[in-house]
């Protein structure tokens, strides 16, 4: 199987909306909706760095798309098109078949068409997906919009994905089947906040997706806004599955510092609270106010209002 047959067999699908020229030419030609501007994101995933080799290839395909959709959503955008640059050690058909299945499941779930890519041979598996989305210019969500007095919110239960990754890596960790399934799925198949982010965009002042850890990513948002903040440890969302497997204390640490959740963290004026709760309820997504934006330039962790020590730089490659 040469690379052209590989592309045809595993990656060519009927073109999506707005695709004037798709796979097969030197480049894709895309037609954005009138009045929208484009959001462009890319995320590379490397086997052994971003996922353990034991992760099923269908999940690798899903994650490669979902993590990018999460970035587009955190900008207030709607994903439309993507390209895929894939590096493989061998053209393993079973692997490719499963990878493509997971990739297209996510493509369908988030209405994002594959319009091009590249295939190369290399030492290890690397999947790099680039997504282009659209946003109305006055609905763009940035990290830099936070202001003192606003609430800090997060969706879902961060930490569950990091817990799931621990379970994948360490088979000796004791966990019931239901907890194991829930936590591993949060890592393997993150269902990112694509629709919720669009509904929150008119209400939020600043947003970031939580990929490197809640405390670190909230800190990045506040730094971009030139603000400080307080996160109250007793207000954090709690995951019964995480607490049962890891214990309360380790669970809280995973919630603050675990990565790979792809939840949405945002700030909003306090008079938006009711509207925010309505949006969360309508989308069936848990939403928790975990703290508030303050003056200064430090994000601190508090317990019942008093500062407690916490250090976490977030995930760093180098």
**Chain residues that interact with ligand ADP, rule: CB under 6 A:** 7, 11, 23-26, 84, 86, 114, 116-119
Question: What's the closest the beta carbon of residue 13 comes to ligand ADP, in angstroms?
Answer: 9
Question: What's the closest the beta carbon of residue 302 comes to Mg ion, in angstroms?
Answer: 55
Return d(Cα 6, Cα 92) in angstroms, integer. 10
Question: What's the closest the beta carbon of residue 117 comes to Mg ion, in angstroms?
Answer: 12
Binds 170: which of Mg ion, ligand ADP, none (CB < 5-8 Å by kind): none
Question: What's the closest the beta carbon of residue 44 comes to ligand ADP, in angstroms?
Answer: 14
Stretch that binds Mg ion, among 24-32, 61-69, 196-204, 269-277 (CB under 5 A): 24-32
Burial (CB count within 10 angstroms: exposed 0-12, middle 13-18, buried 19+), residue 177: exposed
Question: What's the closest the beta carbon of residue 25 comes to Mg ion, in angstroms?
Answer: 8
The site for Mg ion, by CB under 5 A, has a size of: 1
Binds 218: which of ligand ADP, Mg ion, none (CB < 5-8 Å by kind): none
Binds 118: which of ligand ADP, Mg ion, none (CB < 5-8 Å by kind): ligand ADP
Q: Which is nearer to ligand ADP, 4 or 248 (CB)?
A: 4
Q: Does 25 bind Mg ion (CB under 5 A)?
A: no
Binds 84: which of ligand ADP, Mg ion, none (CB < 5-8 Å by kind): ligand ADP
Stretch that binds Mg ion, among 1-9, 19-27, 218-226, 260-268 (CB under 5 A): 19-27
Q: Which is nearer to ligand ADP, 25 or 271 (CB)?
A: 25
Q: Does 26 bind Mg ion (CB under 5 A)?
A: yes
Question: What's the closest the beta carbon of residue 90 comes to Mg ion, in angstroms?
Answer: 24
Question: What's the closest the beta carbon of residue 9 comes to ligand ADP, in angstroms?
Answer: 11
Q: Which is nearer to ligand ADP, 80 or 186 (CB)?
A: 80
Return d(Cα 144, Cα 223) in angstroms, integer. 8
Binding mask 129-168 for Mg ion (x = CB under 5 A): ----------------------------------------
> Is residue 52 a contact partner of residue 185, using CB atoms and an 8 Å limit?
no
| Residues in touch with Mg ion (CB under 5 A) | 26
């Amino acid at each position: 199987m040469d690379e052209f047959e590989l592309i045809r067999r595993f990656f060519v699908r009927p073109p999506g909306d707005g695709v004037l020229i798709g796979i097969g030419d030197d480049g894709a030609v895309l037609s954005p909706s009138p009045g929208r501007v484009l959001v462009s994101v890319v995320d590379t995933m490397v086997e052994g760095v971003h996922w353990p080799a034991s992760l099923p290839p269908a999940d690798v395909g899903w994650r490669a798309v979902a993590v990018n959709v999460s970035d587009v959503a955190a900008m207030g955008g709607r994903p439309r098109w993507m390209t895929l640059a894939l590096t493989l050690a061998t053209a393993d058909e079973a692997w490719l078949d499963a990878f493509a299945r997971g990739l297209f499941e996510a493509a369908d779930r988030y209405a994002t068409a594959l319009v091009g890519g590249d295939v190369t041979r290399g030492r290890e598996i690397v999947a790099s997906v680039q997504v282009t989305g659209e946003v109305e210019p006055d609905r763009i969500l940035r990290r830099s919009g936070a202001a003192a007095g606003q609430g800090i919110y997060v969706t879902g239960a961060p930490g569950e994905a990091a817990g799931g990754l621990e379970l994948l890596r360490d088979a000796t960790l004791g966990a019931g089947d239901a907890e194991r399934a829930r936590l591993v799925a949060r890592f393997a198949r993150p269902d990112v906040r694509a629709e919720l982010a669009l509904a929150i965009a008119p209400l939020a002042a600043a947003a970031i997706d939580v990929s490197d850890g809640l405390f670190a990513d909230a800190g990045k948002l506040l730094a971009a806004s030139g603000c400080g903040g307080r996160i109250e440890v007793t207000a954090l969302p709690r995951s019964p599955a995480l607490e049962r497997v890891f214990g309360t204390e380790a669970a809280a640490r995973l919630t603050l510092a675990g990565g790979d959740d792809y939840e949405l963290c945002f700030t909003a004026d306090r008079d938006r609270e009711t509207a925010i709760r309505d949006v969360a309820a309508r989308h069936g997504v848990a939403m928790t106010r975990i703290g508030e934006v303050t003056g200064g330039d430090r994000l601190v962790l508090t317990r019942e209002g008093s500062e407690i020590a916490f250090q976490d730089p977030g995930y760093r490659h180098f």
